[in-house]
Amino acid sequence: MYLSLSWRNLWRNKKRTIIAATSVFLAVLVAVVMRSMQNGSYAYMIRSSVKFYTGYLQVQGKGYWENRSLDRSIVIDEKQQKEILQIPHITSIVPRLEAFSLVSFEKVTKVAQITGIDPEAENNMTDLKKRLVQGNYLTDMPGGVLIAQGLANMLKIGIGDSVVLYGQGYHGVIAAARLPVAGIVKFPIAKMNNAMVFLTLTNAQNTFSAYGRITSLAIMLDNIKNQAHVYNSLSSMLGGQYTLMTWQEMMPDLVQGIELDNASGLIMLIILYIVIAFGIFGTVMMMTTERAKEFGVLVSVGMQKTRLIWVTTLETAFLAFLGAISGAVFSLPVITYFHYHPIPITGNAAPVFELLGVKPIFYFSTDPWLLINQAIVVLLIALATALYPIFFIKQLQPVQAMRS
215 in any annotated domain: yes
Give Cα separations from 165 to 88, 169, 385 (angstroms).
40, 11, 72
Kindly state whether residue 306 falls inside one of the protein's structural domains. yes
CA 64 to chain centroid, in Å, comes to 27
398 lies in the same domain as 306: yes
Q: Are residues 143 and 290 in the same domain?
A: no
- What is 300-330 written as a DSSP string? HTT--HHHHHHHHHHHHHHHHHHHHHHHHHH
Regarding whether 286 and 209 lie in a shared domain, the answer is no
Claim to verify: residue 215 and residue 102 sit in the same structural domain: yes
Residue 404 has a pLDDT of 61
pLDDT for 96-119, tens place per residue? 999 999 999 988 999 999 999 999
In whole angstroms, give the CA distance from residue 286 to residue 392.
Answer: 12
> How far apart, in whole angstroms, are the C-alpha atoms of residue 386 and residue 216?
59
- In degrees and rounded to multiples of 5, residue 53 shows phi and psi of -160, -50
**This prediction's pTM:** 0.78
Domain count, the chain: 2
Rounded (5°) CA angle 217-142-94? 15
Q: Are residues 87 and 191 in the same domain?
A: yes
Residue type, 141: M
Q: Is residue 295 part of a domain?
A: yes
249 occurs within a structural domain: no
- Residue 237 and residue 289 in one domain: no
* Pair 267, 380 in one domain: yes
Q: What is the pLDDT of residue 349?
A: 65
In a domain, 246, yes or no: no
Last residue of a domain, one of 171, 206, 241: 241
Q: Low-confidence residues of the chain, pLDDT below 50?
A: none
Structural domain boundaries enclosing 325? 2-50+254-403
pLDDT of 299 reads 76
Q: Give the side-chain half-sphere CA count within 13 A for 265.
A: 19
How does pLDDT run across 150-183, given as a tens digit for each residue?
A: 999 999 999 999 999 999 999 989 999 999 999 9
| pLDDT of the residue at 355 | 61
Q: Is 161 helix (H, G, I), strand (E, B) or coil?
A: coil
End position of a domain, from candidates 213, 241, 269: 241
- Does any domain span residue 55? no
Q: Last residue of some domain: 241, 276, 301?
A: 241
Same domain for 187 and 324, yes or no, is no
d(CA 361, CA 97): 33
User: Can you give the pLDDT at residue 283?
Assistant: 75
pLDDT digits (tens, 9 = 90+) for 280-296: 787 778 777 777 787 77
Amino acid, res. 3: L
Instruction: Give the pLDDT confidence score for residue 195 in this predicted structure.
Output: 92
- Judge whether 248 lies within some domain: no
Name 254's Cβ contacts closer than 8 Å, sequence gap at least 6.
45, 46, 49, 247
Mapped onto helix, strand or coil, the DSSP state of residue 39 is: helix
